[in-house]
Amino acid sequence: MTTADPPPSSSTYTPPPPFNTSTTPLIPIYQGAEAHLYKTTFLTPSTPAALKIRPSKPYRHPILDRRLTRARILQEARCLHKLVKEDVSVPAVLGLDWEFAVAADNEGNRNGNGGSWLVMEWIEGEVVRVILERWERYMKGLARESGSQEIPEGEAEKVRGLLRKIGAAVGSLHKAGVIHGDLTTSNLILRPFSPAAANAPEEEHSSPSMEGEIVMIDFGLASQSVQDEDRAVDLYVLERAFGSSHPRTEKFFEEVLVGYRESYKGAGPALKRLEDVRMRGRKRSMIG
Amino acid sequence: MIAIGLEGSANKLGVGIMLHPSDGSTPQVLANIRHTYVSPPGEGFLPKDTARHHRAWVVKLVKKALREAHISVADVDCICYTKGPGMGAPLQSVAVAARTLSLLWGKELIGVNHCVGRMLYAYYRKIRSLTLLDIEMGRLITGASNPVVLYVSGGNTQVIAYSSQRYRIFGETLDIAVGNCLDRFARTLHISNDPAPGYNIEQLAKKGKQLVDLPYTVKGMDCSMSGILAAIDGLAAQYGLNGEQKEDEEEHEITGEPVSNETLSTRKPTRADLCFSLQETVYSMLVEITERAMAHVGSKEVLIVGGVGCNERLQEMMGIMARDRGGSVHATDERFCIDNGIMIAQAGIMAYKTGFRTPFKESTCTQRFRTDDVFVQWRD
């Protein structure tokens, strides 16, 4: 091959073996910053699975890229494995390859680092970001109709309940000694209690259902730690994610911390530390 | 409408004069001049010395700017100055200068947030070029002007996107800014501060080949730079590269031949290798957090602003990332990345038009002034 391989673009990207020969089609779910997520099946055609491919990043120095890709996929798998054992609601790991070959060149050589992949249990449900966005749209419509910015008590209570569940889920994670590292509302799935509810179509103009169990996903930046500092930073990242993506829910964030406090013994010191972390955030406004 | 902008939040003192014609035609830059306080190698700019520099130069620069703009004092409508964030003493010097001019000439004062000034300026420039494109192609381009902004300078490292009347900060450094990290490493190596330490690191890094292992510190959309600085300072000390360059220091031949991996992993790193490794590591982190913010808000465009945005390697890496996502990068060029008075005049004149004034009593300055504290009236 005389010319350099063009980096995989989102549209023409071909998955690595064995997924390129699988009879089940790969359904692209999401292209995140780091990974492409596909829906596929594992072992039997009726067992859905999530395939996460982390293509190598062409903008990074190859050595740095290899180091990061390998460390992150292994770290992710180890954390998930530990959490499944501790009965925390996260997807189970089914298999991985930390460095798959790039597509074969003209001589049939497969070299270099194409990236890594990880297959996990498929989680039904919607990410919390989508649910909250739908809710915020609904509230906006409601405010337009009634001319009042007031949030009805029933709606407020529903969101508080959801946020408390999120807090409890993060607490169970920290209790097991794992730090997520990238807690955003895109990385939390609300899994409905019954599979039937999952298939029921959501009506766009109604208030979304907030029934179900919170499952945390994307442990790409996770690490193992039981330090209050790390736990507090994890919560701070989540708090900031709420503030920047869901301005309307910002005032309810306190409920996440309420749910968190009740979830395990070490929560108190971690929350105390959170206050320090907030103060440390650079150039915090001096007036509130 | 004519505004004078005074900018002096760090070691550069800038004076800019901006004209917004009353008929609504394209605004014009009448003058844009600057003088930089350059500290000796191995030293940073201290607030005291920088403030002295600004006090000594501000009158000369304002006079020169007025001459260049071919206007008289009577033509000026308002005096805009940087209220913050920045270094206390230099900010004070500039605030005093602005107040003096305001009293002396009887003009309105406008205090401007440095970060918003800079973003607005870059944004405004882009709109103009898109508008030109529109005319050429004869059609309106819509929905393409909501980029994720990476703001990287000596005092700031933030990933910003616009939502609900505010620039929202999605990620930022948890400790020191990326420019500060690079500047301080330049100080460790006693690299010249002329024209700028970051520029000299970039030139040196072009000769580097060996990537040394440094911490890679990304937490969600935030990052941290202080540990990396400590690690690379430690490596410099370990290999005896800190302090002034020694006579006997081994410099590797720069040949066209690529060095083999074995040679690379066994030989002692050079100054160039350290600069190269530092750049590769911190810029990878910045591109990564920007990409994460893009994925989060669903934007395909990136706008890089701030002094570090001049770095060609950062622009190149960001370009590869954006292309893979089917988007593009807009980087402001060197003349506009660096602090200048024009951006303050531009932000100030926009605020002035909406009726905003800074009363004399409130014409203070503040070292802390968050980007998301500013209510944006001029955009919807």
Tokens 């000369």 map to which residue?
B60
Q: Do the domain assignments include residue B177?
A: yes
Higher pLDDT residue, B305 or A126?
A: A126
Which residues from chain B sit within 8 angstroms of residue A281, using beta carbons? 172, 174
Taking only the tens place, the pLDDT of each residue in A31-41 is 777 888 899 88
Quote the CA–CA distance of B194 and B2 in Å, as a whole number: 33
On whether B152 is known to bind a ligand per the annotation, the reply is yes
CA distance B66 to chain A (A): 35
For residue A49, give the 3-state DSSP assignment: strand
Select the residue of A7, A33, A61 nearest B211 (Cβ to Cβ): A61
Determine the pLDDT at residue A283. Answer: 41
Q: Treating both helix axes as pointing N-terminal to C-terminal, what angle do B88-105 and B47-69 enclose, rounded to 10 degrees?
A: 40
Quote the CA–CA distance of B2 and B349 in Å, as a whole number: 8
Determine the pLDDT at residue A100. Answer: 75
Question: So what's the ipTM on this one?
Answer: 0.70
Bridge partners for B171 per DSSP: B159
pLDDT in tens, chain B (380 residues): 999 999 998 888 999 998 988 887 777 889 989 999 999 888 888 999 999 999 999 999 999 999 999 999 999 999 999 988 888 999 999 999 999 999 999 999 999 887 666 555 555 544 333 222 221 221 222 233 577 888 888 877 888 876 666 667 888 888 999 999 999 999 999 999 888 899 999 999 999 999 999 999 987 788 999 999 999 999 999 998 887 776 555 555 444 455 555 565 667 899 999 999 999 999 999 999 999 888 878 888 888 877 888 899 999 999 999 998 888 887 765 555 566 788 888 888 888 888 889 898 888 888 876 666 666 655 65
Together in a domain, B118 and B158: no
CA distance B236 to chain A (A): 20
Report how many Cβ contacts below 8 Å link chain A to chain B.
Answer: 104
> Least CA distance to A63: which residue of chain B?
B211
Q: Which of A236-250, A254-268, B117-131, B358-372 has the lowest mean pLDDT?
A: B117-131
Q: One-letter amino acid identity for A35?
A: A
Interface test with A, best of B284, B287, B362 (most A CBs within 10 A): B284
- Whether residue B34 contacts residue B109, with contact meaning beta carbons closer than 8 Å, is answered with no
Q: What is the DSSP string of B322-333?
A: HHHTT-EEEE--
- Spell B76-108 as b/e; 16+ CB within 10 A means b: bbbbbbbbbbbbebbbbbbbbbbbebbeeeebb
The one catalytic residue among A182, A228, A230, A234: A182
Together in a domain, B21 and B109: yes
* Total number of domains in chain B: 2
Distance of CA A239 to the CA centre of its chain: 15
On whether B198 is known to bind a ligand per the annotation, the reply is yes
A126-280 — its CATH code? Answer: 1.10.510.10
Backbone angles phi, psi at A41, to 5 degrees: -120, 160
Q: Is B321 in Cβ contact with A285 (below 8 Å)?
A: no
Determine the pLDDT at residue A150. Answer: 80
Quote the CA–CA distance of B293 and B280 in Å, as a whole number: 20
Q: Is A43 left (phi over 0), alpha (psi -120 to 50) or beta?
A: left
> Least CA distance to A31: which residue of chain B?
B295
A27-121 — its CATH code? Answer: 3.30.200.20
Q: Is B370 in Cβ contact with A10 (below 8 Å)?
A: no
Q: Is the pLDDT of residue A200 over 80?
A: no
Q: Is B296 in Cβ contact with A186 (below 8 Å)?
A: yes
Q: Is the pLDDT of residue A103 over 70?
A: no
Determine the pLDDT at residue B108. Answer: 94
Q: Do the domain assignments include residue B139?
A: no
- Whether residue B159 contacts residue B290, with contact meaning beta carbons closer than 8 Å, is answered with yes
Q: Do the domain assignments include residue B242?
A: yes
Interface test with B, best of A233, A282, A287 (most B CBs within 10 A): A282
Q: Is A31 in Cβ contact with B368 (below 8 Å)?
A: no
Together in a domain, B173 and B283: yes
Q: Is B216 in Cβ contact with A284 (below 8 Å)?
A: no
- Spell A201-213 as b/e; 16+ CB within 10 A means b: eeeeeebbbbebe
Quote the CA–CA distance of A202 and A131 in Å, as a whole number: 10
Which residues from chain A sit within 8 angstroms of residue B288, using beta carbons? 33-34, 57
Together in a domain, B188 and B322: yes
Angle among Cα A118, A122, A127 to the nearest 5 degrees reads 105
Determine the pLDDT at residue A10. Answer: 42
Together in a domain, B291 and B350: no
On whether B311 is known to bind a ligand per the annotation, the reply is yes
On whether B81 is known to bind a ligand per the annotation, the reply is no
Interface test with B, best of A10, A244, A246 (most B CBs within 10 A): A244
- Specify the domain boundaries for CATH 1.10.510.10 within chain A: 126-280
Q: Do the domain assignments include residue B142?
A: no
Q: Is A59 in Cβ contact with B287 (below 8 Å)?
A: yes
Q: Is the pLDDT of residue A258 over 90?
A: yes
Could you report how far apart the first and last alpha carbons of chain B are, in Å? Answer: 23
- Whether residue B195 contacts residue B211, with contact meaning beta carbons closer than 8 Å, is answered with no
Determine the pLDDT at residue B112. Answer: 87
- Specify the domain boundaries for CATH 3.30.200.20 within chain A: 27-121
Q: What residue numbers bound the domain in which B98 lies?
A: 2-126+339-373
Q: Is the dihedral of CA A243, A248, A253, A254 positive or negative?
A: positive
Q: Which segments of chain B are extended strands (E)?
A: 2-7, 12-19, 28-36, 78-84, 108-113, 148-152, 157-163, 166-172, 218-219, 222-223, 301-305, 328-331
Q: Do the domain assignments include residue B138?
A: no
Backbone angles phi, psi at B163, to 5 degrees: -155, 140
- Whether residue B276 contacts residue B208, with contact meaning beta carbons closer than 8 Å, is answered with yes
Quote the CA–CA distance of A149 and A140 in Å, as a whole number: 8
Q: For residue B273, give the CATH number of its domain.
A: 3.30.420.40
Together in a domain, B56 and B172: no
> Least CA distance to B315: which residue of chain A?
A59
Q: Is A58 in Cβ contact with B284 (below 8 Å)?
A: no
pTM, to two decimals: 0.72
Q: Is the pLDDT of residue A201 over 70?
A: no
Select the residue of A184, A247, A286 nearest B368 (Cβ to Cβ): A286
Q: One-letter amino acid identity for B15?
A: V
On whether B124 is known to bind a ligand per the annotation, the reply is no
On whether B171 is known to bind a ligand per the annotation, the reply is no
Together in a domain, B309 and B199: yes
Quote the CA–CA distance of B157 and B174 in Å, as a whole number: 9
- Whether residue B337 contacts residue B107, with contact meaning beta carbons closer than 8 Å, is answered with no
**Known active-site residue A276:** no
Q: Is B370 in Cβ contact with A237 (below 8 Å)?
A: no
CA distance A61 to chain B (A): 7
Together in a domain, B208 and B76: no
For residue A269, give the 3-state DSSP assignment: helix
Return the closest-CA partner of residue A222 out of A108, A91, A105, A114. Answer: A91
Q: Do the domain assignments include residue B213?
A: yes
Together in a domain, B315 and B204: yes
Tokens 């509302």 map to which residue?
A185
Q: Do the domain assignments include residue B307?
A: yes
Together in a domain, B70 and B165: no
Together in a domain, B224 and B197: yes
Which residues from chain A sit within 8 angstroms of residue B275, using beta carbons? none
Together in a domain, B158 and B301: yes
Cis omega (within 30 of 0) for bond into A269: no
Q: Is B320 in Cβ contact with A58 (below 8 Å)?
A: yes
Select the residue of A64, A183, A233 nearest B280 (Cβ to Cβ): A64
Which residues from chain A sit within 8 angstroms of residue B280, using beta carbons? 60-61, 64
